[in-house]
Amino acid sequence: MDKIKMLTPLVEMDGDEMTRILWKMIKDELILPFIDLKTEYYDLGLKYRNETDDRVTLDSAEATKKYGVAVKCATITPNAARMDEYNLKEMWKSPNGTIRAALDGTVFRTPIKVKGIEPCVKNWEKPITLARHAYGDVYKNTEIKVPCAGKAELVFTGEDGQEIRKTIHEFTGSGIIQGIHNTDKSIRSFAKSCFNYALDTKQDLWFATKDTISKVYDHNFKDIFQEIYDSEFKDKFENAGIEYFYTLIDDAVARIMKSKGGIIWACKNYDGDVMSDMVSSACGSLAMMTSVLVSPDGIYEYEAAHGTVQRHYYKYLEGEETSTNSVATIFAWTGALRKRGELDKLPELMEFADKLERATLETIESGKMTKDLSLMTTLDDVVILNSEDFIKTVRQNLESM
């Protein structure tokens, strides 16, 4: 069988610990035998990030801007313990944070649906994708613990000398104050990424805030979304047969519980943090969740939603058997290959991505799965496979297709 040809390289960002082990197995067993793989390889493993003073992360982000599609392995975000473990020169920043800042993107997370792993919300027939704005609000706040009676004011001093001043509260005793912000630029990027992703995946887009209460702040989000929709996306949505609508966040929560799924739910930063944990827990686990960063000008970086699965890696280093779930990492590869196929008009590459996903899901549906899934499946007669055997079984299924 001839291998499938590619035109443009994928930006490949290798990572750390157990996911780095899975990364190699996935490439060797599921990608390289079938595809004449073209990638531009960046080693984002912590050791090499440290050697290059984190230059490699910036370079990989630049390469992603150049080529348009990247696939990323989970990486360690260093903390104090990692400083010693890896003998680091500095506590390097989170690679995801660096890449997100460079691409100015929005993160979309979608549960991977498979028979035998059922969401607790029975009517969710299709996955719900959470689009979380990843800048500002309470994540970049300034807070004061008010010690005594006094007046709290909100003051803006313009570069041009103008001043805007409002009273927050006349305190008669102790209390608290919080100042938060966002920028029109960031909200615009968020809106465009959401509209583009909805078109791309042909799903309705919901956006919700609390604009009835927050008549300036949240209302600004609502207005920017509406303005961009009307001026740039209305026709495209109508042609694609999909819908955009805005509603109040409490109404959205009520509706989501009754919906069949198959929609994109855009949320402000805090709402997205909370709601994505709700949706993912209701659907099983982080190991069955894809994540893609989409920039406002249509650049895509695919990854798994989970981390480097450190505890399993230490077992692996001890020579013990591991049963680590590789599904989300496999889906990061299929997402990136499919997108590359779409952009380069390579139907064979897109078909391959579909087949690999089917082979993966059919493996689980046939009762063969990793330990984490065996603990929550509704299937009987389950065979628990180790990390490597799971991937090898997926390969057998893929070959028989």
- Name the site residues for Mg ion (rule: CB under 5 A): 273, 277
CB-count burial class (<10 Å; 0-12, 13-18, 19+) for 23: buried
Work out whether strand 175-179 and strand 106-111 pair parallel, antiparallel, or are unpaired. Answer: unpaired
The window from 54-62, 109-117, 228-236, 307-315 that contacts ligand NAP (CB under 6 A) reads 307-315
Write out the E strands in 192-306: 204-209, 244-248, 263-267, 289-294, 300-304
Q: Beginning with the edge strand found earlier in the chain, give each strand of the sheet holding 10-14 in spatial order.
A: 39-43, 10-14, 69-72, 300-304, 289-294, 106-111, 129-132, 263-267, 204-209, 244-248
Write out the E strands in 330-393: 368-369, 383-384
Q: Which is nearer to Mg ion, 275 or 364 (CB)?
A: 275
Q: Which is nearer to ligand NAP, 209 or 325 (CB)?
A: 325
Dig out the tokens for 153 from the structure: 């004011």
Binding mask 247-286 for ligand NAP (x = CB under 6 A): ---------------------------------------x
324 binds ligand NAP (CB under 6 A): yes
Which residues face 163 on adjacent strands?
157
**Do residues 328 and 280 make contact, with C-beta atoms less than 8 angstroms apart?**
no
325 binds ligand NAP (CB under 6 A): yes
C-beta of 1: minimal distance to ligand NAP in Å?
30
75 binds ligand NAP (CB under 6 A): yes
100 binds ligand NAP (CB under 6 A): no
C-beta of 139: minimal distance to Mg ion in Å?
11
Contact partner, 21, from Mg ion, ligand NAP, none, Cβ < 5-8 Å per class: none
Cα separation of 73 and 92, whole Å? 17
C-beta of 19: minimal distance to ligand NAP in Å?
7
What number of other Cβ atoms are within 10 A of residue 38's Cβ? 14
C-beta of 306: minimal distance to Mg ion in Å?
13
C-beta of 274: minimal distance to Mg ion in Å?
7
310 binds ligand NAP (CB under 6 A): yes
What number of other Cβ atoms are within 10 A of residue 207's Cβ? 26
303 binds ligand NAP (CB under 6 A): yes
70 binds ligand NAP (CB under 6 A): no
What is the footprint of ligand NAP within residues 341-360 (CB under 6 A)?
none
Give start and end residues of each alpha helix (H) in 294-346.
Answer: 310-317, 327-343
In what helix (H) or strand (E) does residue 142 lie, and over which residues does it extend?
strand 142-146
Residue 350: which residues within 8 A CB-CB, separation 6 or more? Answer: 337, 338, 341, 342
Q: Which is nearer to ligand NAP, 356 or 369 (CB)?
A: 369
77 binds ligand NAP (CB under 6 A): yes
308 binds ligand NAP (CB under 6 A): yes
Q: Which is nearer to ligand NAP, 76 or 356 (CB)?
A: 76
Identify the CA nearest to 266 among candidates 229, 299, 232: 229
C-beta of 308: minimal distance to ligand NAP in Å?
4
**Chain residue at closest Cβ approach to Mg ion:** 273
Euclidean distance between the first and the last CA atom of the chain, given in angstroms as a whole number = 13
The window from 29-37, 159-167, 257-265, 304-312 that contacts ligand NAP (CB under 6 A) reads 304-312
Q: How far is CA 108 from CA 36, 111, 179, 311, 376, in A?
A: 29, 10, 27, 27, 24
Given candidates 307, 354, 358, 389, which one binds ligand NAP under the rule CB under 6 A? 307
Contact partner, 100, from Mg ion, ligand NAP, none, Cβ < 5-8 Å per class: none
Which residues are near ligand NAP by CB under 6 A?
74-77, 96, 286-287, 303, 306-311, 324-325, 372
